[in-house]
Copies of this chain bind each other. A is one copy, B any other.
């Protein structure tokens, strides 16, 4: 079974914390031990694990990626969102996190983020839990 939930993003580029939503699905599922795979069915956003404390970290990640994958380049794709496709390839569409005691296992400072690069939009997140 694939669990699905929606995320409404509110800016062109944004990192939306989805830790609570994924953690809730893991608890609901009830697997004592296992693996939690997360996937986004989109080509202009990605999934990342990063710091959940200082919001300036998210701001810096977004700003430096905007700088490295700049808008002013000889892109050919007509929709004007080639930088979003490129960031999506670099950040990646999937994550794998472990489950123990029916709980997602993350480091102290880690949170799960949907990385929006072509928003604002309504996005879907897919979650699949394997026991073991």
Contact = CB atoms under 8 A, between A and B. Distances in A.
Contact of A67 (B37, B73, B130): B73
Given A1-B33, A64-B86, A126 B98 contact: yes
A96 B96 contact: yes
Contact of A92 (B68, B88, B92): B92
A110 B43 contact: yes
Contact of A64 (B50, B82, B88, B91): B82
Given A86-B60, A92-B92, A94-B95, A42 B131 contact: no
A2 B67 CA distance: 38
The 9 closest A-B pairs by CB, nearest first: A41-B107, A60-B82, A56-B76, A56-B77, A43-B51, A130-B132, A48-B89, A49-B93, A94-B96
22 contacts: A2-B105, A39-B98, A41-B106, A41-B108, A43-B50, A43-B110, A49-B88, A50-B89, A54-B79, A57-B82, A60-B75, A60-B76, A60-B86, A61-B82, A61-B89, A64-B83, A67-B73, A92-B92, A94-B95, A96-B96, A98-B128, A107-B124
